Every structure is written in C-alpha cells, then in structure tokens.
Amino acid sequence: MRVAATPTSSQIVTVTVNGTAYEREVPARRLLVHFLRDDLDLTGTHIGCDTGSCGACTVHLDGVAVKSCAVLAVQADGAQVTTVEGLGDDELTPLQQSFSDHHALQCGYCTPGMLMSASALLAENASPTEEEVKVGLQGNICRCTGYWNIVEAVVAAGKGSA
Amino acid sequence: MKIEGTKEFDASREVVWSVINDPAKMAKTMPGVESFEIADDKHWSAKVKVPLGLGGLKMSMNFTKLEERPLEFASLNAKGQGVGALMNMTTSFTLSGEGEQTSMAWEADVKIAGPVGSMGQRVLQPIINQQVGNVLSALDNEVQAAKSGA
Amino acid sequence: MLLREVSYARPASIEEAVALLSEHEGARALAGGQTLVNVMKQRAASPDVLVDLGKLDELRTISVSGTTLQIGAMATLASIMRSSEVEVSRPILAEVAATIADVQVRNRGTLGGNICVNDPTNHFPPLLVALGASMTVLGTGGERTLTADEFFVGVFETAVGEGELLTRIDVPAGGKGAGDGMAGVTLGAHGTYVANAAASVADGTWRIALGCVGAVPVRATAVEEKLAGADVDEAVARTAVEGLGATLDPPSDVHASADYRRSLAETSAVRAILQAAEKARG
Amino acid sequence: MTTVETEGTTTLQKGFVGQNVPRREDRRLVQGEGVYFDDVKRHGMGYVHFLRSPYAHARITSIDVSAALELPGVYGTLTGDEVAILTDPFFQIAAEPGASVKDFALAVGKVRYVGEPVVAVVAETRELARDASELVMVDYDPLDVVVDARKALEDGAPVLHEDCGGNMSYTGVWEWGDVDAAFAEADHVVSISELHFDRFNSTPLELDGALVEYNRGTGQWTITTNNQFPGFAVIMMAPAMRVGTDKLRMVTQDIGGGFGNKITSHPQLVALCLLARKLNRPVQWTEWRTDFHQSMSHGNERWFLDTEVAVKADGTMTAFRTKAIDDAGAYLRYEPLGGVIWSQVAAGMYGWRNIRLEFTQAMTNKAPVSPNRGYSRMQHLWFTERIIDIVAHELGFDRVELRKKNYVQPGQMPYETPNGCVYDSGDYPRALDLVLDLIGYDTIEQRREEAASRGKLLGFGIGSTLDSGTNNFGQSQLLNPELQFSGNNEVATVKLDIFGEVVVTLGTTPQGQSHETTAAQVVADILGCDVDLVHVRAGHDSYWNSHAGFSGTYASQFAVTGLGAVKGATEELARQMKTLASMVFQCSVDDIELADGFARMKENAEAALPFMALGAIPNANNAGFPVDPPPMNARFVYRPPFEVPDKERKFGNLTLTYSMQIHACVVEVDPETGVYELVDYAAVDDCGVRVNPKIVEGQVMGATAHAIGAAMFEVFAYDDEGNLLTPNFYDYHVPHTLDMPPLKTAAIESPSPFTPLGTKGMGEGGGGGIHCIGAALQDALRSSGGAVVTSSHNPYHRVWEMLRHPERSREKVEVKG
C-alpha cells in the first residue's frame, strides 16, 4: 500500500476563476468565499450568514451551483469557478437584464447569489415553470423583495431564451 | 436545563459511596478526560475533550464538592471553560437502599453557552442526555469494579 | 465563520484515505462538507486533520447487485435524485433527497455524510433504519458491515470508529408488495425536521423509524408488530400508532415541546404508514 | 401563481414622475460591482474580532490579553477598561431613570447580555483575530438573570444598571379624551388580560461592519460603513469620543438592507475608531450572522396587559385602556423613543376619541433593541387590530362591517386624532373593498367548505395598518423635556456641471430604496430634460456637505424629506439657469422656459441655450459679465412644517404623512399538527403620489415578506439563563421562495396635501401581514374551540396548542355587559 500523503495546514491551489488561472498558497482552513473575496478581490460574491443557509455566496464550481462558504479553497484545487463577475462581459446577460426589468432586486446584496443559482437552473432547464424556479432558488435568501419579482424575472428570462 | 433520574446498582451503599466520593474514580466516568489533578479533597480539576463525533470540544473543568453526608448525599459543582464555550453543572446524588441494592436519585442543573449552543436547538439537549447516559453507565462499571475489588 | 487551523490531505485512493484516517489522531473524513464545514465555522468542533474524499470517484457509484441497491458513500444527494437505479429499485431515496435543504446543498452533500453526521434532524438516518439498510465500513483491519440499527450511536456519532471509513450503503431493492413512506413537519418548506417518521413494508412486514425524538432514530417496534400482516387502512394505522407518543422521551426546545413532538411522531407515523401501504398496494 | 394587479393611478402624472423608470442602481448590482463596506481594502489594514460575553449577566473580575498579544500576527487589543478612560458614556435620550444608564463601546465592569462585546482583538487576518480572541482570558462572576420584562419590573429582580435604581427606563401615562365617561356609557366592555408582541427583527442579509482609518495629522477618522443614520451616529459618537462631529467622516455607497437595524452600530464604530488611533493603522470589522442575532438591533417586544375596550351596542368603539410593557433589552441605544413613537398611531385607523395607555419600558438581559421596520407603531397597530378582531369574535360582529363602521372616514380627512396627529388623506373603506375584491371575499365560505372536505380548517383575516412617515423629532421631548431635538430635515445639492451634466448629491443612505432613480425622475421633470441627463451620486459622504442633522434613510421619509430637498434644490437651479439665459438674451427671466434640454425664450425657440452652454459660462467662461453669473449650483434643506408638541397634554402632530395598507389572507390549518399554509394573499397600498409605482410595489412586497416571516417563523426566543435559542439561520428560519404565498397587490393614490410632491413615506408597511395572519388563524380555529390569538408570532407549535387547549387563551378574554 502506497504511503499516504502528509496533511499540511496550507497548500498550493491552482484554480481557474472566470477564465483566469490563479496559483496561490492558501491556508487549509480558508473558505472558498474568503479566497475569492479577500485573496482574489472578487467582491461580487457576498456573505450573509455563517451556517450555509443564505446562498449569497453561491458560485459555480465546475459548472455546478455551490455555496462557497461551505467549501474550502483547497477543495477547489484544479477546478473551474465562475462568479457573478464572470456572468457576462460589459453587456448584461438576458437574466441580469430581466432582474432589472422586473425590479427583482432592491439592496442588491443577495443578487449575485440569486443570479448564480438562477443561471445554473437555466443551464439545466431553459424555460422553467414558476414552481421549478422556486425550487431552484430555495437556497437563496432575499430580505428585500419577498421573492415574487425574482421568480418572475427568472421565469421571464427562461421564456426569452427558450 | 434541569435533568434528573434514578440509577439502580447491584452493590452496597458503601461501595457506591466509595466511588462517587473518590475524584479519581469519578474522573474515569467522565467522557474524554485527558488529564486529571486533585488539589485537595474538595477541589479537583480535569482537562477534557468532550467527544462530539465531528471532533472534540476541549474544556478545562474545575470541580468543587459542595456538600456531603456519607452514604446518603453528595453534591458538587463542575465549571468548564473551553475556547468560547462554557459549562456549569451543579449535580447531587441521594443514595438509598439496603444490602447489595443501592438506588441513586440524581439531579443535575446544566448550563451550556458558546458554540455548541449556536449549533442549534436540535443538538443541544440530545447531546446532554447522551453524555449523561455515558456517565451513568461508566459509573456502573466503576461500581462493579470497586465491588469486585473490595 | 472563521475556522480553526486544520491540516488537510486529499487522498487519491480509498486505501490512502484509510491510512490517513488511522495514522492521524483527530482526523476526520471530509465528504460534501455541508455539515462539517459549517460546524467548523461555529468552532463547535475542530478536527485536527481533514481527509478530503472529494477525488475518490469509486465512492460515488450507484449500482444494483442482485436485489441490493448499492450506493457509494460519496454519492451526492443530487446524483441520487437523478439515478435511474434508485428510481427503479428504491425511489423513496430520491424523493426524500429532493426535499433536503436546497439545490446547492444537494449538489455537494452526500449520503455518507448525511448519515455519518447523524444530526438528529437529518432525513436519511430514520429512513435508512426503516428501509433496513446496511453500511459497509473499511478500516486498516479490513471491512465490516453494520445494520442501520447498529450504525447510529449518538448526536454526530456513529459506529464508524477512529481510522475507519464508511464506503457503501446497501439498501434492499423494493419490489411487489413493498412500499415506503416518510412524513413529518419541517421548519418551512424543505427545512429542518421538527419531527418525522419513516415507514417501510414488504410482504406484510413493517419497519418504522422515528426521527427528532432522540439522539438516534427510534424504532417503533410495537407499531410494527401490530401492523404485521394487516390490511392497512387509516383506521388500522391509527389504532396501531395509538399510545406511541407515550413511549417516547423526545427533547423539548424552541420549536416543539416534548408533548408536541410526541403528537407529531404519532401523526407522522400514521401518514408514513399510509403512504407505504398505498405504494405497496401498487 | 404570482399575480400582481395594480389599479390605475388616480392622479395622472406627466413627465417622468409616476412612470416605472428603470432603476439606476441595478446595473452595478447585477454585475457584482456594487461597493459594500466589506468590499473596501486598505494597505496594512488589520481585521477586528470581538470577543463576546457567554453570560447574560455577570461581573467581569479580570481580563488577561497577554497570551493573545504574543500570537504572531496580532496587532493589538482593546478592553473595556481602556474604553472607560478614553471615552465618556454615550449620551442617553432618556430622562431619569433611564438617563443613568452608562453605555460604552465595550462592556465596562459588567456584561448584561450574551454576545455583548468584551474585548476587541486586531490581527493580520480574519482567522488569526478570532484565534487570538480565544487566548484572551476573561473571568466572570455570574449574576442572576432576568429575561421577562414583567419580572424585571418587580421588586427584588436582578438589576442590570444599578445607577438606575431598578430596571425601568421610562414610564408615562398617555391619556386623551374622557376615558372613564366612555366606559360608563358603554353597552359592552371587552377585556383582554394579556397580549404579547414577540421579539424579532428584519435580519438584513448584509451584516454590520466598517473600515476605519485615522489620520494623525488631521485628527480625523474616515469611517466606511453601512450605518443607515449617520446623522444620529455622529451625534452619539463625537461627544463620547470628545471630538467634533466633523472629525468623523461617514462614508457609504451600497448597503445590503437595513430596515432600521443598522441605526445603532455606534458602539462598535467607536471601538474601531479607538483601535485605528491606538494601532495607527486602518482596522476592519465584519460582523457575522450569529454575532448579529445575539447582539444587535432586536425589534421591540411588548406586552399589553389588562386591556379594556368600550363598545356601543351598534359596534361603535368609543374607548380603550391598557398597560403596555416594552422590553428594551440590556441598553438604551435608541430607546426609550419607542415609548412615544407608537403614539403617532395611537388610534390606529379608527375613530377612537378616548384612549388611556400606561407605557412602561423595562431593561432585561437580552440584546438591545433598535428601530425595526414599522418601529414601535407596528406593535401598537397589531394591538389595535387584535382589539377589532377579538371584539368581533366575542360579540359576534362582522369583521368587515366593524372595521368600516369604526374606520376614520374619507370625509373626515385631514383628520386630527385625539392626540393631535393629523392623518393627511386616504379612503380606508374603499381600500378595504379593494382588498376584499382581490382576495375574493364573497367565495370564502365556499372555500371553507371545500377545505373542510380535505380535512383542513380554512381561515380568513384582515390587517389594516398605517405607515406614518417623516418624524417630528420634537416628540422626543414628550419623553424627556430637556432634549433639544425637534422637527426634521434632509439635504440635496444639485449642480449643472461644466459640460452640462446635472449632478445630484443626496444626504441619504439608501439600502435598496432606489433614491438614485426617483431623485432623477423629479429633477428631470423640473429641468425639462431627459432623465438620463441626470446623474445622482451613489451613497453618502459627509465630506460632500450635502447632509444635515437628521440625514439618513429611516422612518419612511425619503419621498417627502429627500425628494422635498431635491425639488427645492432643483427649482433653485432652474431659477439660476433661467436667470443666466435671460442675461444672455437680454430679456426678462419670465420670458425663459426650460424644455427639451434647453433654456430658451418662450416666444423665440431660436434663442436657446443648451445645458452645456449654461454649465460652461459660470464654470469656465465667465469673463466680461456685467454681474456675476449665477453659480449653477444649489443646496436646499427641506424642513417639514412642524411645531414642538405640547408636553403637558402629550399633544401635537408627530409625523407629516400617513400611508395606509390593508392586507388580507387565507390560511389552511392542519388540525392534527397545527401546520398551516398561506393559500391566498392580497395587499392594497395608498402612499399618495407614487413617483415610481414599481418601486413602491417592491416596498409593499418586502414589508409583506417580513410580516409573513414574523407571523410564522421568526422569533428571538431566550431561555431563563439569557441564552438566545435562535442565534442564526439554523433556528431562526426566514421565509424562502417555497414559503411564499401567491400575492395580489393594488394601489390607491390619495395625494398628501402637506408634502411638496403629494407623496407620503411608505417604506415600512406597518406589519399588516402579522395582523392579518393572526386574524386568519383565529378565524380558522373558531370551529375548534374558538381560541383567541394573543401573540404576534404563531408558529406551528402555538397553533397546535391553541387547538389542543383553546381554554388557555379563552380565559384571557372576558365580556362584561
């Protein structure tokens, strides 16, 4: 049996974020969300709780929506990460535009996480029903809107892209 | 949080008393004791790592014997301070019974503050009940050991 | 929010994982991390070493062997929801997985992690007890198999010992005359359980487990016996469940008094039983 | 499904005001380019972690930070002993006994609630700061704890602040009309022994925090934070720190929700200022969810004891009397203002002329309260709605008719309440009819039967509520006659820049209320230009000199004070532009009009100056003018028309506008478990002229969601030791998408006669959802023992208890005569 690697309290992490490759030494205890915000200065990804409940920190990890506060940065080694900054270039995506058109944001703090959850949903299901959207956004808390306009915005974005 | 119960032992009161009155023996009944020190017959302390499955909760505990009436009643206070966590327990044991049967009525008033609390309602009380259960069964083993030893 | 210092290793093989777990005191396997990382954020518990199972794809397989559904410990809840093997042999697993937390948690969270954590409010411990599942645990000394009843030991504690690793969960495939159900009350839709019951019947034999009434799932054996062989309708189920609450000693907290939990356990049991009976009738 | 129906506006707007102009804020926010306080970094900045009390009440016997300081990467610490030397206690709003509370940036000598900051530790990384805080040794000597406001007022209760001689912070009797006579003439008297409004808050998703820099040369602090009432914060901070308010530069751009909960962060801000100066480096603090729940800004919890209601045979309600006991928590950060704010809506939406309310506020070993969306009025409006539904329930009146009979009628507007407040406009009966149409009131009985056939108990409820806005701060003198606060104000500056851009600077600190958008709409209409030509600066910076003492975003007032200031400043700029054009064209100012982006002669469209020219002349091309060209720069302070209230009679106009909302909902209860679902929901809003209807509707939706959360899921519950049992989102469940009911909304516009634009403040909503959900539960349970709903928070387990033990609530209610 081959000898097991020695656990270490910090590691070199190679990760591609929004198409840019980064190599950084990271403490094993650092959360992916803090790596993105504090180390890579990608501050669009937000933090709204300390229990993995609110979804403000949602990003795509190898194309899958995850809460970056419940993933260690070292776990993202070798992965592709997309944050809200990577959603569109200077032009708004139809989803982003739909959020604005339907007044789906007020303070905007939950919005990046909402957009990442919604875009992951639309990638799997191009025109989701209202119920499917609610299920898809169940992991994202918004305290301003009551969700009604957010659900409308995502349903509309789906119809637009269908 | 107040919890209480009764525990039956197949041993004489003398034997049971000899256990609950002996800090060293009592120490063996506590979960995760790593080191143990006796200051005097009324005060002793221990370093414990309360097993929580996901990793232990380190605490340093100080024990003070509050009152004792040999073969009948003992009460003690246990104060624990860990990193950000606090435990304060006042517990009492009342022994009754004849011959080789002893019944121990126990009461404990447990206060826990800190991160275990913030893990949520759903785990706190079950954890305490579980730890108490472990203590009682360990106590039984100590009593049996003392009995056969005697 | 900020973890204590911890060491980390990401083994490339199951053997290496077991070696790491056994060689390092205070080592803990990191599966999906959807509970463990959050517990570490609270600093309520702090493993000294994390052994990340993330790269062990052999632990993610879901397959059917004979009449047994074999689910790798690292199979995510999302993959269980999508698995045709699960859909064919024990669909309740997918139905329940779909109600756990949210998309992001289901994308990372694993079946093995859900049961190894054994948070008293978790969905799978009572369900797997009701389904009569068994768990395969690997240690340096080799493999051993535990029944679900043996597996759950306490809050955050299971029979998986120091240096051991849960590798697989086996669930007997359901078939004709078999049916499963799970019912309960949660904090909001798809929220944390306040109380629940899981029921399973095969050829008139019942297994019923209650969640959130103790540190581990509680078997309702008396109810199981009363239902044995019976043609179950609502009246039968209610009679069988009557008095169940009185036999329980559930916790009392901000979400439910002990009495309320006793009542919910009975209602949940009746509803889970009726779901199972319905499905068994096909 | 989610349907949103909005009735056509009753006052047609021309121009941009009244249109759903797309939000200016959205682009940066959907791109993740918003700038929240935690997004800002500085060279060498240290991260702050607060070590907090695990005890609800204890004496601090010793603090040892040496081990923490030895940890590599630790920059320094701050303890209560240092704070007590370097600062004075915060100014107290209260008269005696509350005036004797000594409140500092960190615990001094004693801790009074679990989560109270005791020591601040600064280190190179966030993680390290927390590690170091675990090495700080604090010895506590625990004291008895009191968490129940009623017990806190009893003799022998543990005392939090010895200098106050007890736990009472304020008490006063508020009586208007002839209450005894009204009860003597009553045909029925309904008494309710106990009602309880539970503790919760709106839990903004972004938590508190700041980046604080200190410049030794200028002696000035720059505080990049998300405090939503910087005007109040500096009034609290500067005297305590023994500096002038201008030494505290308050900066914000984007704020992740506030709802009042971000008004009272001044203690932490002072601790950060002291650390930045002590360590001579920028310090940054980000609060986490569990810290926030345990220590910040809970909403006021309130008991209403021994309530009596005088009712005539025809259902007319002539009087009520009650004893309110308010729970302020451990410190008075904004309190006891809650002790007067409720009286803005003393009579609710009803014609009560005789009212007696004994208000007493207690301090307890729980987190300090602060304003929370619907601050203090929500609690009282819930109380008035409970009265209506309990009286209807006990005396057999129809809830709709009883409301219509007792509502203030449209013909009475503007209506002076018994305590001198003036309800500016509104048609409450019409709004009720509108909401009943939306919810299909005429089909309720059918739906009840249909639900019963599925084993469900269906209930219908109404919640009528007010959103009083634009405070007269003079009401603070009704609590403490010595205070020198009165009236209100807000500031805007508008300038025409060198290339003709219109630049607007506000004094406010929006947290999602879309000020950049609505201000641009008002400016564009006055200047006759395109809304896209107007640039409204994002955020607040006290360096801009565009703020006043009451600047901030709180208490439903921007549409009045903020836009009033914008209107005033823009009209002044328009006058300057016309004057300059008249100088150029050698004509009278009256011959000039502003239209299509030009200042031009009314009679000769050829004679037109583009904004660019008007901006360039004074700014860059001003030689040879016979007199000074106007500066193209206007600053305006809006001041609402208020008098100082009569302190003896506790009489006067306390707020300028009264928006109104009526909510209605349908619930289905599972009689076995007490689990219930909102199956239908409707809300009608009247906030006068709506500058941007979609934005107004967004506020209605948000307030509805908060009310649903408070009614069903959200509560700050404590055990007897003062441990918060819901310290984060594990146990404090806020509604998620799947918890939300279908919603229908409609609007009426009854313009306010008292405001510059006919608008009314409307951000808070008055908790209508809490009122109507409780009423619907009471209706659903009518056939199962007739329990009376006596709490604002009704989670499943309480509904189950009401089903199993209706007598427990029934015995709180009695009908005499």
Q: What is the pLDDT of residues D524-544, one digit of tens each?
A: 999 999 999 999 999 999 999
Q: Are D815 and D395 in contact (CB under 8 A)?
A: yes
Residue C264 sits at the chain B interface (C-beta within 8 Å): no
The whole-angstrom distance between D189's CA and the closest CA on chain B is 42
CA distance D82 to D78: 7
**What residues pair up with D528 in beta bridges, in sequence order?**
none
Q: What is the DSSP string of D362-381?
A: E--SSPPB---SSTTHHHHH
* Virtual torsion, Cα D703, D704, D708, D714, nearest 10 deg: -10
Q: Which of residues 33-92 of C touch A (CB under 8 A)?
A: 33-34, 37-38, 40-42, 49-52, 54
> Which residue of D51, D53, D143, D721 is the best one to mutate when testing the B interface, meaning the one whose CB has the most B CBs within 10 A?
D721
pLDDT band with cut points at 50, 70 and 90 for residue D9: very low
Tokens representing C257 are 């008094």
If one counts every other C-beta atom within 10 angstroms of the C-beta of residue D274, the result is 23
Instruction: Tell me which residues of chain C, numbers 202 to 241, contact chain B at a CB-CB cutoff of 8 Å.
Output: 212, 214-215
Whether residues C4 and D801 touch (CB distance < 8 A) is answered with no
CA angle C217, C221, C223 (to 5 degrees): 110
Q: What is the mean pLDDT of chain A?
A: 95
- CB-count exposure of residue D312 (10 Å: 0-12, 13-18, 19+): middle
Indicate the residue of C36, C43, C117 with minimum beta-carbon distance to B115. C43
DSSP C183-201: EEEESSTT--EEEEEEEEE
Contact check, Cβ <8 Å, A27/C5? yes
Among A4, A50, A70, whose Cβ lies nearest the Cβ of C19?
Answer: A4
Q: Which helix (H) or strand (E) holds D577?
A: helix D563-585
For residue C48, what is the DSSP state? Answer: S
Q: Which residues of chain C fall below pLDDT 50?
A: none
Report the alpha-carbon distance of residue D71 to residue C74 in Å, rounded.
39
The SS3 call for residue C87 is helix
Tokens, residue D35: 């700038």
A1/C102 Cβ within 8 A: no
Are B34 and B113 spatial neighbours (Cβ–Cβ below 8 Å)? no
D758: three-class secondary structure by DSSP:
coil
Q: Specify whether the CB–CB gap between D542 and D574 falls below 8 A.
A: no
CB contact under 8 A, B121 and C254: yes
The answer to whether the CB of D15 falls within 8 A of the CB of D755 is no
C254 touches chain D (CB under 8 A): yes
A35 CB neighbours in chain D (<8 A) are none
3-state secondary structure of D303: strand
Q: How many residues does chain D have?
A: 817
**One-letter amino acid of D681:** Y
The pTM assigned to this predicted structure is 0.95
* Chain C residues 1-20 within an 8 A CB cutoff of chain A: 1-11, 13, 15-16, 19-20
Name the residue facing D731 among B88, B114, B121 (closest C-beta): B121
Tally A–D CB contacts below 8 A. Answer: 183
Q: Any chain B CB within 8 A of the CB of C171?
A: no
Q: What percentage of chain D has pLDDT greater than the value 90?
A: 97
The larger pLDDT score, comparing residue C44 to residue D489, is at D489
Cβ separation B83–D731 shorter than 8 A? no
- Partner D contacted by A26 (CB < 8 A): no
| Residues of chain D with C-beta less than 8 angstroms from the C-beta of C263 | 672-673, 800
List of long-range contacts for D39-42, beta carbons under 8 Å, 24+ apart: D39/A37, D39/A43, D40/D211, D40/D224, D41/A41, D41/D211, D41/D284, D42/D211, D42/D213, D42/D282, D42/D284
| D259·A135 Cβ contact <8 A | no
Residues in chain D closer than 8 A to B120 (CB atoms): 728, 730-731
Give the nearest partner residue to C5 out of A9, A120, A138, using CB atoms.
A9
State the Cα angle at D208 between D207 and D214, rounded to 5°. 145
- Look at residue D3 in the predicted model and tell me its pLDDT: 42
Higher pLDDT, D375 or A161: D375
D383 Cβ partners below 8 Å, 6+ apart? D195, D197, D302, D304, D307, D322, D324
Contact D509, D549 (CB under 8 A): no
DSSP SS3 for D671: coil
Taking 80 as the threshold, does the pLDDT of residue B116 lie above it?
Answer: no
Q: Please name the residues in contact with C139: beta carbons below 8 A apart, sequence gap of 6 or more.
A: C18, C22, C161, C163, C164, C165
Interface residue D134 vs chain B (CB under 8 A): yes
The model's pLDDT over C223-265, given as tens digits with 9 standing for 90+, comes to 999 999 999 999 999 999 999 999 999 989 999 999 999 999 9
Indicate the DSSP class of residue C108: H
Q: Do C194 and D796 touch (CB under 8 A)?
A: yes
Give the tens place of pLDDT for each residue, A75-125.
Answer: 999 999 999 999 988 899 999 999 999 999 999 999 999 999 999 999 999
Q: Is the pLDDT of residue B58 over 80?
A: no
For D53-93, the pLDDT digits (tens) are 999 999 999 999 999 999 999 999 999 999 999 999 999 99
Q: Which of D290, D739, D797 sits opposite C255 (nearest CB)?
A: D797
Q: State the average pLDDT for chain B.
A: 83
CA closest to D734 among chain C residues? C188
Give the DSSP letter of residue B51. Answer: -
- Cα separation of D227 and D240, whole Å? 17
Chain C contact probe: residue of B48, B123, B127 with most C CBs at under 10 A: B123
A50: closest chain D residue by CA:
D289
Phi-psi region of C101 (alpha: psi -120 to 50; beta: other; left: phi over 0): left
What is the 3-state composition of chain D as percent helix, strand, coil, each rounded to the nearest 5?
A: 35, 25, 40
Report CB contact under 8 Å: C260, D713: no
Q: What angle do CA D185, D188, D191 make, to 5 degrees?
A: 115
For chain B, list the contacting chains (3+ Cβ pairs, <8 Å). C, D
Cα–Cα distance between D482 and C191 in angstroms, integer?
51
- Whether the pLDDT of residue B80 is over 90: the answer is no
pLDDT of residue D11: 41
Asked if the model's pLDDT at residue D566 lies above 70, the reply is yes
Mind giving me the DSSP string for D552-575?
SS-SS-IIIIIHHHHHHHHHHHHH
Q: Looking at CA atoms only, how far is residue D513 from chain A in angstroms?
A: 7
- Intra-chain end-to-end CA distance of chain A, in Å: 53
Tell if the CB–CB gap between B111 and D721 is shorter than 8 Å. Answer: yes
H or E stretch at C103: helix C103-108
Determine the 3-state secondary structure of C167 from DSSP: strand
Identify the helix (H) or strand (E) that includes residue C52. Answer: strand C49-52
What is the rounded distance in angstroms from the CA atom of residue D99 to the CA atom of residue D91? 8
Number of B–D residue contacts, CB under 8 Å:
31
Distance separating alpha carbons of residues C110 and C60, to the nearest angstrom:
9
Per-residue model confidence (pLDDT) at position A1: 47
Residues of D in contact with C187 (CB under 8 A): 713, 731, 733
D70: its two tokens: 């030895």
The Cα–Cα gap between D796 and D781 comes to: 13
Q: Which of D521, D429, D379 is nearest to D22 (CA)?
A: D521
Model confidence at D767: pLDDT above 80: yes
Name which of D672, D725, D738 is nearest C267 (Cβ-Cβ): D672
Total Cβ atoms within 10 A of residue D412: 11
> Over the stretch B3-30, which tens digit does the pLDDT of each residue have?
888 999 999 999 999 998 888 888 888 8
CA distance A93 to chain D (A): 10
Q: Kindly report the nearest CA distance between residue D143 and chain B, in angstroms.
A: 13
User: Which element (helix H / strand E) includes D327?
Assistant: strand D317-327
Over the stretch D282-293, which tens digit does the pLDDT of each residue have? 999 999 999 999
Who contacts D3 (Cβ-Cβ below 8 Å, separation ≥6)? Answer: D742, D743, D744
Q: What is the dihedral of CA D248, D254, D258, D263, to 10 degrees?
A: 0
Please tell me if residue D235 touches chain A, with a CB cutoff of 8 Å. no
